[in-house]
Amino acid sequence: MISIAIDGPSGAGKSSLAKRLAAELGYVYVDTGAMYRAIGLYALRAGQNTRDAAAVAALLPAIRLDIRAGQGAQQVLLNGEDVTAAVRQEAVGMAASDVSAHPAVREFLLATQRALAERSNVLMDGRDIGTVVLPNATVKIYLTATPQARAQRRLAELQARGEAADYDTVLADICRRDDQDTHRAVAPLRQAADAIRLDTSDIGLEESYQLLKRTVLAHIA
Ligand code: DC
């Protein structure tokens, strides 16, 4: 099986680029962030403090996650409920970052993530795919951009959806997520030694896509 690992900070454009490339290659797209988001959503709904490792770990036995992976799309079912759209909210992103720091949560998701890569050719996106989940991935990409460039894009996305947002708040959220994701003790966000770094700060979406595609094709051919 061929596996393409794409890691990087939030807002670097990973998911839209990865989804499109997976569809074009006919690979299964696996969005691991959505799995952490589903657990974050469950914890929020349960009224638990998402930073409390023991409280979050105690919820896990009641959580059943079903990942319906397809070409260029993924559905997440949380105890049978389709939460694919619900997990995209801003508050859920922060909760996901909180719960993802807990070793029990990472352990809970690891087997599911690896099993998906054993069954099909996958393009998997996340924070620790190249370093922990699929250390033997066929090709590893570290997709990044400056916090300022990511904040601009995120702001445009939120405004397009009609959500109230301002640049400073979005930038502060991005910096806080980066800080949490890179400084946690387990599986922190970092570039794998054998990953190819692509910086999209100064290029648009289409150019980023072509760069990603070219780079991936050069390694799986
Ligand atoms: O990519 P995303 O914004 O949907 O991810 C949400 C959070 O989940 C992110 O802040 C960190 C965490 N995450 C992780 O720790 N490991 C992954 N492989 C994917 C996401």
Whichever domain contains 194, its CATH number is: 3.40.50.300
Domain total for the chain?
1
Give the pLDDT confidence score for residue 143 in this predicted structure.
Answer: 97
Strand arrangement of the beta sheet that strand 139-144 belongs to: 28-31, 122-126, 3-7, 139-144, 196-199
Ligand 1 midpoint to CA 31 (Å): 9
Ligand 1 midpoint to CA 218 (Å): 27
And the tokens for 99?
A: 């719960």
Does ligand 1 lie within 6 Å of residue 93's CB atom? yes
Does ligand 1 lie within 6 Å of residue 10's CB atom? yes
The tens place of each residue's pLDDT in the chain, 221 residues long, gives 999 999 999 888 898 999 999 999 999 999 999 999 999 999 999 999 999 999 999 999 999 999 998 766 789 999 999 999 999 988 999 999 999 999 999 999 999 999 999 999 999 999 999 999 999 999 999 999 999 999 999 999 889 989 889 999 999 999 998 998 899 999 999 999 999 999 999 999 999 999 999 999 999 97
Give nearest CA residue, ligand 1 atom 18. 126
Q: Are strands 122-126 and 3-7 parallel, antiparallel or unpaired?
A: parallel
Cα separations in angstroms, 74 against 56, 101, 143, 169, 172: 24, 23, 20, 29, 29
At CA 70, angle to CA 208 and CA 16, rounded to 5? 20
Ligand 1 midpoint to CA 166 (Å): 23
| Three-state secondary-structure class, residue 24 | helix
Give the pLDDT confidence score for residue 29 in this predicted structure.
Answer: 94
Print burial letters for 65-83: b (CB count within 10 Å at least 16), e (below 16): bebebebbebebebeeeeb
Does ligand 1 lie within 6 Å of residue 13's CB atom? no
Element (H, E) at 218: helix 205-220
Total-model pTM: 0.93
And the tokens for 138?
A: 């066929």
Ligand 1 midpoint to CA 127 (Å): 6
Ligand 1 midpoint to CA 173 (Å): 14
What type of residue sits at position 46?
A: A
Domain that holds residue 37: 3-220
Does ligand 1 lie within 6 Å of residue 32's CB atom? yes
Does ligand 1 lie within 6 Å of residue 36's CB atom? yes
Ligand 1 midpoint to CA 58 (Å): 20
Q: Which atom of ligand 1 is nearest to the CA of 184?
A: 15
| Three-state secondary-structure class, residue 66 | strand
